Amino acid sequence: MMEPATDKPFSYQGAAKDREDGQTVIRVFLDTKHEATCRKCGAEVEWAQVARTRKWILFNRGASSRGKTMDRDTSRDCEYLSHDDVHWNSCSAD
């Protein structure tokens, strides 16, 4: 399992460059992930709260994990999700 060693400076609502493959990943609290339906386009999606900013981001359903880690401040389990899986990038309503 790939685990980025440190948090890098964020460029997009809690996104960080992953050192392993250069992918932009977003660290979310694992226990905040829940399924929903996009109010704009009706797609099946998934909400998750960004650990660093506490903002909520809509991901495409089935967004694959890019690694897991534990939040240093809260000891909560976190997961890295790809920026490519953010639903707003591909929402057909826009």
Chain residues that interact with Zn ion, rule: CB under 5 A: 38, 40-41, 43, 91
| Residue (65 or 92) nearer to Zn ion, CB | 92
Kindly state the smallest distance separating residue 89's Cβ from Zn ion, in Å: 10
Amino acid sitting at position 10:
F
| Cα distance between residue 73 and residue 62, in whole Å | 27
Closer Cβ to Zn ion, 8 or 40, answer by number: 40
Residues 6+ positions from 74 with CB-CB distance below 8 Å: 51
Residue matched to tokens 């639903």 = 87
Find out whether 38 and 1 touch, Cβ atoms under 8 Å: no
Q: Which is nearer to Zn ion, 41 or 70 (CB)?
A: 41
- Interatomic CA distance for residues 27 and 69, integer angstroms: 9
**How near is the Cβ of 94 to Zn ion at its closest, in Å?**
8
Q: Which is nearer to Zn ion, 78 or 86 (by Cβ)? A: 86
Please report how close the Cβ of residue 90 comes to Zn ion at its closest, in angstroms: 8
Provide the minimum distance between the beta carbon of 76 and Zn ion in the complex, in angstroms, as a whole number.
27
